[in-house]
Structure 1
Amino acid sequence: MLSTRRALAAVVSVVVLAASACGSADEDSGSAKVEVFTWWAEGGEKAGLDSLVSRFGTACPGQEFENGAVAGGAGINAKQVLNARIAQNDPPDTFQVHAGAELADYIAAGRVQDLSADYDSWGLRAALPQGLLDDLTVDGKLYSVPANIHRANVVWANSQVLSDAGILQAPKNLDAFLQDLAKLRRAGVESPLALGRDWTQLMLLESVLIADLGAKRFAGLFTGATSWKSKAVRGALNDYVQLLAYSNADRDALDWPDAERLLIDGRAGYQVMGDWEAADLAAKNFQAYEYFTFPGTEGVFQWLADSFVLPDGAGNPDGTRCWLKTVASVDGQRDFNLAKGSIPARTDVAGDGFSAYQMDAMADWKTATPVPSCAHGSACSQDWQNTVNATLGAFSTAAEKDVPGLQAALAATAARYVQQ
């Protein structure tokens, strides 16, 4: 399991390995472009994309990468551009999408093609955890190829701030976490828990729900197996309100890197954020931090994955399939994740060369119970996610925290998408 430690994470230089052939019908017919649409435009994400492009160039002779990246945090801008292009029947050859339920609308509209046969021919089923395959499968079919795995239920901490307050170990449960937050505030830390707006608040709520409900009942919230109206959910929402009280008052005005700055500057002790934070902290040359799984979620791996699809109407389907095979390969996943700071979706990639955090996460990915994330599209559709984000934003800014009202709103939203 992830353990509290002084992280020495750093983005590792990409290791260039010898590539295996990736067959394409266009190999002997001259160069053919493959437009790859992503929101990877800078930092570790761009470095990861560049490593895949290098691998693709070797593995897919006759195919030429065309960069269709649109910048924008978490893909907000890119998704708007993509949806407009698809509506105009002008899809790129492939596009990045969060794996899981975020694809539901594209699948229902017949906008992406079934890749089940490719999974079989590439031997990909045997390389992915069954829990991930279950979450990716829609009516018995697979529609996307995950390039990586990120973990959402992680807490990042400023080691010096904790030490100054006499906090010397990670909390084992949510009650202990709340006690440590209170200790930080008594020590003069105004905002013990750094928090941002929108999906960052949903990430926090999801971690609390996992801690209070457990993996199975949490996942059931998005399938109808667990009722949002239950006493257990009410208890989790009350815990969430307590956590909000220890966060920064300007949370609704901050994006996650702005909230992270509170942590780096010592104005906060903790931040709940996905494990892309390790690479970001390293890029900002901040090493005095610790990490641990959100208290009460030990043994649970809340996952999200960047994946690629084969759109219906893609201009170069053969080239796209070669891109997808490159993304799915052991070497492709190794190169990409070494650069990006995430971990391979495949469980058969060797851990040498990866950072301390990545090696911890890779070990957990093989043994922990995977659960999806609504905040990052693996558990719920984009519309569902947007509605919940707006609901939590309104709740955050309200002077009075109406927990029964919040629970009713979340239950009503879920009822529009699943049968309770």
Structure 2
Amino acid sequence: MRCRALVGLLLAGLLTACAAPALSMEPTDRVEVLSWWTSESEHAALTTWIDAYRAAHPDVAVIDAGVAGGSGSNAQVVLAGRLQSGDPPDVWQTFLGSSLRQYAEQHRIADVSAAYRPEDVAALPPAVVDALTADGALRGVATGAHRSNMLWFNTGVLQQAGVAPPGAGYTERQFLADLARLKAAGTAPLCLGGQDRFTSAELLEDVLLARVGSEGWAAIAADRFDWRGPDARAALGVFGTLLDHTQPAAATTTWSRAVATLAEGGCGFFAMNDSAYGELRAVGADLGAGIGGVAYPGTDGDFIAVIDTFVVAAGSPNGRNAIDLLATIQQNPDALLGFSAHKGSVPLRTDLDLSGLSPYQQQAAQVLRSGTLLMSVVHGEVMSPAFQQGFYDAVADFTVHRDPRAFADTLQFAVSRDLAPQR
């Protein structure tokens, strides 16, 4: 039965909430998954997970409804249309925290606690369990954590320009000086996949964290940060300098193409979450000797987590299969480790043997478990999705006009329209 709001309430501009319909747990022969994982490394990771499910459920057809392009933005448009028309996929990709909670508040997603055993919950960091929870129930399953505040570099390109490859303690001042040296040598200093807007936003997020630290990050999450203050203006100043050192075609380059350009020696540096690591492996880059990575300068002990999460549509007619699919990635160590091996992410479970993963991933896991775990503004984890969109708009405007006041105005406009962070 469909929930219908009373006409009088609609005329008054109010919304009547509907209780989320129960999942159907009757056996069926299909389950549909919508994601934006279509690059080489992403699709390989997704296939590892789905193949593990298929091995245990050979009579169920898994429909891969992946949507290419826009690094998720195209998939979000398709998902929004399907939700509006009452035809949601059984399972879809999102992020935990604010993004997940908004779906829960709208009664769009189901309680997926059945995908967890007590030991599964105990093996996850408490902050992650909290970010997966809404209305007292677990609402999603996370596939792993990407470290967003990463700076990748091509060792050969740097050495040809007389630049020493960065190591521990690399500072922002050194980074800016090295970019200038690369530019003077006639080499593109910094690759940027600007066609995918999240890359520019992630770059500013890195710069901002280096400026304000974890205490400032807490102020951002609590909506106490002064976006017109000196820290914001200083971060935007550095961000503008970085933009001035990107390759000529930055605005029309996808993130995966930017990764390939770094591997091919077309630039010296590239800042992006470590999905880039998975893609570098997929294109056969010489990781270690040829391509290296360090935390963005000034953020060594911090881990901005980009945590891809899958949810189940409320009332899904294939609810039993959807829950079993999520349980596969949560409960199957081989599926988790195989997924991360392709994706470049780190499993969130603290009880897994990570010795089979790469040295980089083992190092990232150590920071995740012993450093400061922070949720991402860019990926809608720490702020509301509406504020997230305001941040994207502000970054896009700044890349063109370089006006700190306009940046703050865009965010203030978002807040004034009740698009402030949800707490």
Shift of 1:419: 7.9
- Name structure 1 gaps, 5 residues minimum: 1-23
Aligned to 1:339: 342
1:103-154, Cα deviation, whole Å (9 max, x unpaired) = 2432221101233x43763433211112323333445443211012111110
The number of residues matched between the two structures is: 390
Q: 1:162 to 1:52 in 2, by over 3 A?
A: same
AA of the residue aligned to 1:172:
Y
1:208-235, Cα deviation, whole Å (9 max, x unpaired) = 1111111232243133143323322222
> Which of the residues 125, 129, 135 maps onto 2:121?
125
> What is the rounded CA distance, in whole Å, between the counterparts of 1:169 and 1:49 in structure 2?
33
- Name structure 2 gaps, 5 residues minimum: 1-23
Aligned to 1:175: 173
Aligned to 1:277: 276
> What is the rounded CA distance, in whole Å, between the counterparts of 1:244 and 1:224 in structure 2?
27
> What is the rounded CA distance, in whole Å, between the counterparts of 1:176 and 1:204 in structure 2?
17
Question: Is residue 111 of structure 2 the alignment partner of residue 114 of structure 1?
Answer: yes
> What is the rounded CA distance, in whole Å, between the counterparts of 1:203 and 1:165 in structure 2?
26
Aligned to 2:8: none
Mean CA deviation greater in 196-205 or 102-111: 102-111
Instruction: Give 3-state SS (helix, strand or coil) of 2:345's partner.
Output: coil
> What is the rounded CA distance, in whole Å, between the counterparts of 1:316 and 1:385 in structure 2?
32
AA of the residue aligned to 1:359:
Q
Aligned to 1:309: 311
Once the two structures are superposed, the pairs formed by residues 381-420 of structure 1 within 5 Å of their partners are 381-398=384-401, 401-414=402-415, 416-418=419-421
Aligned to 1:264: 263
Shift of 1:270: 0.6
Aligned to 2:322: 320
Shift of 1:396: 1.3
Given that residues 111 and 137 in structure 2 are in contact (C-alpha distance below 8 angstroms), is that contact kept between their aligned partners in structure 1? yes
Instruction: Give 3-state SS (helix, strand or coil) of 2:225's partner.
Output: coil
AA of the residue aligned to 2:256:
P
Aligned to 2:17: none
1:63-98, Cα deviation, whole Å (9 max, x unpaired) = 442322232342222222211111122122211212
Aligned to 1:231: 230
Output the TM-score relative to the length of structure 1.
0.85
Once the two structures are superposed, the pairs formed by residues 182-197 of structure 1 within 5 Å of their partners are 182-189=180-187, 191-197=188-194
> What is the rounded CA distance, in whole Å, between the counterparts of 1:138 and 1:233 in structure 2?
31
CA RMSD of aligned residues (A): 2.5
> What is the rounded CA distance, in whole Å, between the counterparts of 1:310 and 1:411 in structure 2?
34
> What is the rounded CA distance, in whole Å, between the counterparts of 2:319 and 2:248 in structure 1?
50
1:393-412, Cα deviation, whole Å (9 max, x unpaired) = 222123xx222332333344
Given that residues 39 and 70 in structure 1 are in contact (C-alpha distance below 8 angstroms), is that contact kept between their aligned partners in structure 2? yes
Shift of 1:182: 1.9
Greater RCO (CA < 8 Å, at least 6 residues apart): 1
Question: Is residue 34 of structure 2 the alignment partner of residue 37 of structure 1?
Answer: yes
Given that residues 113 and 310 in structure 1 are in contact (C-alpha distance below 8 angstroms), is that contact kept between their aligned partners in structure 2? yes
Aligned to 1:363: 366
Output the TM-score relative to the length of structure 2.
0.84
Aligned to 2:150: 154
Given that residues 91 and 310 in structure 2 are in contact (C-alpha distance below 8 angstroms), is that contact kept between their aligned partners in structure 1? yes
> What is the rounded CA distance, in whole Å, between the counterparts of 2:206 and 2:386 in structure 1?
21
Given that residues 132 and 370 in structure 1 are in contact (C-alpha distance below 8 angstroms), is that contact kept between their aligned partners in structure 2? no
Once the two structures are superposed, the pairs formed by residues 97-112 of structure 1 within 5 Å of their partners are 97-112=94-109
> Which of the residues 48, 73, 78 maps onto 2:75?
78
> What is the rounded CA distance, in whole Å, between the counterparts of 1:40 and 1:368 in structure 2?
28
Aligned-pair identity in percent equals: 32
Given that residues 100 and 132 in structure 2 are in contact (C-alpha distance below 8 angstroms), is that contact kept between their aligned partners in structure 1? no
Given that residues 252 and 396 in structure 1 are in contact (C-alpha distance below 8 angstroms), is that contact kept between their aligned partners in structure 2? no
Instruction: Give 3-state SS (helix, strand or coil) of 1:184's partner.
Output: helix
Shift of 1:316: 1.7
AA of the residue aligned to 2:359:
A
Shift of 1:42: 4.6
Q: 1:196 to 1:340 in 2, by over 3 A?
A: closer
